[in-house]
Amino acid sequence: MAEFRRDIYTRLSAWAEATEHKPIVLCGARQVGKTHVLKVLGRDKFESFSYVNLFDGGAKAALTGVDSVHMLLDSMEAFNGVRVRPGKTLLCIDEIQEIPDLLTLLKALHEEMPDLHVAVAGSYLGMAQHEDLSFPVGSVTSIDMYPMTFVEFLEAVGDGVIAERIRNQRIETLGGFAERLERRVRQYCFVGGMPEVVETFVEDGYQHARAVQKELLSNYDMDFSKHPRTGVDSEKMRLVFSSIPSHLARENHKFIFGHIARGARAAQYESAIQQIVDSGLALRVYRVEKPVAPLPSYRDDSAFKLYLHDVGLLAAALDLTPASVVLGDGGLTEFRGALTEQYVCQQLVAAGITPMYWSNANSTGEVDFVFAGNGAIIPLEAKAGTERHKRSLKWLCDKYGICGYRTSMRNYKEQDWLTNVPLWIVGSYFRPWLASDYEPDGGADLGPLPNTDDEG
């Protein structure tokens, strides 16, 4: 696989170089790049790399029944032949949720061997935390990994100069690239951020990328039965997951249990939904009754939207063509802008934001996203093209005395109550608002962009 730059590597690299560190728990959906980034980290930052993947039957058998740090290290060395040396070795256990008891050992590893760098990964670790297992809270550093963001996609297709300007929020230098950025956003909405799909797109184009997307969707469907979880109805998970695109294709994107199957009720499917969210395959966005801090106090747990974890997979599930998404507004505006909302949601979540949405009691007014940042409540409307804002956003801002935001294909513009944030910078634009200690990390068919940036 191509070694695309992933922003998460900067954080992992700092962890690898730190004198004091807890074990890393890297969570995320399957095939978002967790294993690859850990292998690169092991190669670049350590003298040796001790790795096992518990989806491998032999590895699982080797570590089943391990109940001490010494036994774990001995079993791993016997299996992969790598002697673990604190300060020199990265010890990595992939899909650790396959032997939940190993999670308990992370605390002991940290206490008995504080100099050893340990990283574990799993696509169902969120489930483990909801199954009352002995998850070592406080003894590990948990990190969520998502599909490639739009900025990471830009670098992958050869626009690294533009990507760096977006990371550094140098909006004033990007006005001349508006058409190029619009095309890249459209490409990203078709291709998405799954690393294998992006690599295939760069090398072989749209149709081959779509074939990989379809294979990924099929693999996810099979995974529900292939790797069942205790007390989980795999068939209900399959039905929920396959229904997400059709929910988003409806006029109201709110998740309706009756649309899963005839007679379906919340009590029957809520567990399946939570399992899918915990596995990283879906993003749940709850409704808030008021855009008032603290937002969780006004969350309506009975009303929510479900998005897929990747916009390209949504485009594939909806069978949208490259022409409809890349060459025109059809794919972006069809289905009431579901693709654009999916894109925005994905960028916000990857930036560490927990988005919600607002609607009034009778659902006649709605704002796509509402979240907290920098001491303020941010209502954000997502638009596919350059159309004007909805009256709901203006009404909400007037009623609660807050400033509104719209993200669209328009250029950046500040008005008295409304700021337009271009779709291509939406994730980077709001990310610093979440944490004061944020520091920017430092389609080849359009051709590479020459580096004419005098400021580097």
Residues 80-122 have pLDDT tens digits of 999 999 999 999 999 998 898 899 899 999 999 999 999 999 8
Say if CB 310 and CB 193 are below 8 A apart: yes
Count of domains observed in the chain: 2
Rounded mean pLDDT of 206-232?
A: 85
> pTM for the full model?
0.90
Grouping H, G, I as helix, E, B as strand and the rest as coil, residue 408 is: strand
Residue 448 domain-assigned (yes or no): no
Shared domain check, 207 and 107: no
Q: What CATH number is given to the structural domain containing 87? A: 3.40.50.300
Shared domain check, 180 and 117: no
**Which pLDDT band, with edges at 50, 70 and 90, does 311 fall under?**
very high
Say if CB 195 and CB 36 are below 8 A apart: yes
Q: Is the confidence at residue 452, as pLDDT, over 50?
A: no
Specify the range with the lowest mean pLDDT, choosing from 31-40, 69-78, 306-315, 430-439: 430-439
Distance CA 398, CA 43 (A): 54
Q: Is the confidence at residue 137, as pLDDT, over 80?
A: no
In this structure, how many other beta carbons lie within 10 angstroms of the beta carbon of residue 128? 20
CA angle 248, 252, 257 (to 5 degrees): 75
With DSSP H G I counted as helix, E B as strand and the rest as coil, what are the percentages for the chain, rounded to 5?
50, 15, 35
Half-sphere exposure of 230 (CA within 13 A, CB side): 11
Shared domain check, 163 and 83: no
Summarised one tens digit per residue, pLDDT across range 206-215 is 999 999 999 9
Last residue of a domain, one of 96, 121, 144: 144
> Which residue segment(s) compose the domain that 423 sits in?
150-434
Residue 443 domain-assigned (yes or no): no
Last residue of a domain, one of 127, 144, 161: 144
Shared domain check, 128 and 37: yes
- Would you state the pLDDT for residue 334? 58
Shared domain check, 130 and 28: yes
Summarised one tens digit per residue, pLDDT across range 151-182 is 999 999 999 999 999 999 999 999 889 999 99
Residue 447 domain-assigned (yes or no): no
Q: Name the residue with higher pLDDT: 23 or 441.
A: 23
Q: Is the confidence at residue 443, as pLDDT, over 60?
A: no
- Residue corresponding to tokens 């006005």: 175
Strands across the sheet with 48-53, in order?
48-53, 89-94, 117-122, 24-27, 141-144
Summarised one tens digit per residue, pLDDT across range 244-266 is 998 888 767 788 887 787 777 88
Tokens (6 digits) for 267? 């009590």
Shared domain check, 250 and 221: yes
Shared domain check, 123 and 249: no
- Would you state the pLDDT for residue 406? 96
Residue 452 domain-assigned (yes or no): no
Shared domain check, 425 and 303: yes
Distance CA 372, CA 355 (A): 8
**Which pLDDT band, with edges at 50, 70 and 90, does 335 fall under?**
low
Residues whose CB falls within 8 Å of the CB of residue 450, separated by 6 or more in sequence, listed in order? none
Q: Is beta strand 404-408 parallel, antiparallel or unpaired with respect to 117-122?
A: unpaired
Shared domain check, 156 and 101: no
Q: Name the residue with higher pLDDT: 19 or 291.
A: 291
Mean pLDDT for all residues in the chain: 88
Shared domain check, 72 and 87: yes
Summarised one tens digit per residue, pLDDT across range 378-421 is 999 998 765 565 789 999 999 999 999 999 989 999 988 999 99
Residue 45 domain-assigned (yes or no): yes
Residue 441 domain-assigned (yes or no): no
How buried is 300 (Cβ within 10 angstroms: 0-12 exposed, 13-18 middle, 19+ buried)? middle
Distance CA 23, CA 109 (A): 8
Shared domain check, 122 and 210: no
Tokens (6 digits) for 40? 């690169």
Shared domain check, 169 and 89: no
- Would you state the pLDDT for residue 136? 77
Helices (H), strands (E): how many in the chain?
18, 13
Residue 251 domain-assigned (yes or no): yes
CA distances from 287 to 252, 282, 413, 423 (A): 13, 16, 28, 23
Rounded mean pLDDT of 325-354?
A: 83
Strands across the sheet with 404-408, in order?
299-308, 282-288, 356-359, 366-373, 376-382, 404-408, 418-422, 413-414
Specify the range with the lowest mean pLDDT, choosing from 216-225, 304-313, 430-439: 430-439
- Would you state the pLDDT for residue 351? 94
The closest of 440, 425, 247 to 348, measured between CA atoms, is 425
